[in-house]
Amino acid sequence: QRIAPELAGMDSRRLLYADEAIQKAIDNKEIPGAVLAIVHHGKMVYLKAFGNKQIYPQTVPMDVNTVFDLASVSKSVSTAISAMILLERGKLRLLDKVNVYIPDFNGWEDDAEKTIDIRIIDLMTHTSGLPPYAPVETLKEKYGAPNPNGLIEYISTCPRDFKPQTDFQYSCLNYITLQRIIETISKQNLREFAKANIFNILGMAHTDYHPTGETLQRSAPTEKQQNGSVLTGIVHDPLARIMNGGISGNAGVFSDAEDLAVLAAALLNNGEYNGKRILSPMGVRTMRTVPRAVLRFGRTPGWDIFSPYASNNGDFFGPNTYGHTGYTGTSLIIDPDNNTAVILLTNRVHPDDGGEAVRLRSLVANAVAASIGCPPLRTYFPYYYDRVEEFRKEPPISNKDIVFLGNSLIENGKWSERLHKTPIRNRGINGDEAMGIYDRLYQILPGNPKKIFLQTGANDVSHDLSTDTIVGRITMIIDKIQAESPGTKLYLQSMLPINESFGRYKKLIGKTDMIPAINSRLQSIAETKGIPFINLYPLFIEPGTNILRKDLTNDGLHLKENGYEIWAKALKPYI
Give the pLDDT confidence score for residue 110 in this predicted structure.
84
C-alpha atoms less than 13 angstroms from C-alpha of 358 in its C-beta half-sphere: 6
Q: Are 439 and 378 in contact (CB under 8 A)?
A: yes
Through-space distance between the first and last CA atoms of the chain, rounded to whole angstroms: 41
Using DSSP, state whether 317 is helix, strand or coil.
coil
Separation of alpha carbons 376 and 330, rounded Å = 31
- Alpha-carbon gap, residue 476 to 345, rounded angstroms: 39
What type of residue sits at position 253? V
pLDDT of residue 447: 95
Distance of CA 497 to the CA centre of its chain: 43
Closest CA to 72 of 172, 194, 222, 199: 172
Q: Which of 216, 226, 217 is nearest to 246 (CA)?
A: 216
| β-strands 451-455, 489-493 pairing | parallel
Single pTM value for the model = 0.87
DSSP state of 241: I
Q: Each residue of 382-396: b (16+ CB within 10 Å) or e? A: eebbebbbebbeeee
pLDDT at 510 (0 to 100): 95
Amino acid letter for position 472: G
Q: Which residues on neighbouring strands pair with residue 67, listed in sequence order? A: 219
DSSP 473-531: HHHHHHHHHHHH-TTSEEEEEPPPPB-GGG---GGGTT-TTHHHHHHHHHHHHHHHHT-
For residues 304 and 334, what is the distance between their CA atoms, to the nearest angstrom?
10
Q: Which of 390, 381, 469 has the alpha carbon at shortest distance from 430?
A: 381
**Cα-atom radius of gyration of the chain, to the nearest Å?**
30
Per-residue pLDDT of the chain (575 residues; tens, 9 = 90+): 788 898 898 998 899 999 999 999 999 999 999 999 999 999 999 999 999 999 999 999 999 999 999 999 999 999 999 999 999 999 999 999 999 999 999 999 987 678 999 999 999 999 999 999 999 999 999 999 999 999 999 999 999 999 999 999 999 999 999 999 999 999 999 999 999 999 999 999 999 999 999 999 999 999 999 898 999 999 999 999 999 999 999 999 999 999 999 999 999 999 999 999 999 999 999 999 999 999 999 999 999 999 999 999 999 999 999 999 999 999 999 999 999 999 999 999 999 999 999 999 999 999 999 999 887 778 899 899 999 989 988 999 999 999 999 999 999 999 999 998 878 999 999 999 999 999 999 999 999 999 999 999 999 999 999 999 999 999 999 999 999 999 999 999 999 999 999 999 999 999 999 999 999 999 999 999 999 999 999 999 999 999 999 999 999 999 999 999 999 999 999 99
Q: Are 65 and 243 in contact (CB under 8 A)?
A: no
pLDDT digits (tens, 9 = 90+) for 415-470: 999 998 878 999 999 999 999 999 999 999 999 999 999 999 999 999 999 999 99
Beta strands in 220-350 (DSSP E): 254-255, 272-273, 276-277, 322-326, 330-335, 340-346
Q: CA 461, CA 368: separation in Å to the nearest integer? A: 37
Residue 378: the pLDDT is 85
pLDDT digits (tens, 9 = 90+) for 5-23: 988 989 988 999 999 999 9
Q: Helix %, strand %, coil % for the chain, to 5? A: 40, 15, 40
User: 157 near 104, Cβ under 8 Å?
Assistant: yes
d(CA 221, CA 67): 9
DSSP letters for 52-98: EEE-SSS-EE--TT-BEE-TTHHIIIIIIHHHHHHHHTTS--TT-BG
3-state secondary structure of 35: strand
Q: Which domains does the chain have, with CATH numbers?
A: 382-574 (3.40.50.1110)
**Of 424, 408, 406, which is closest to residue 559 (Cα–Cα)?**
408
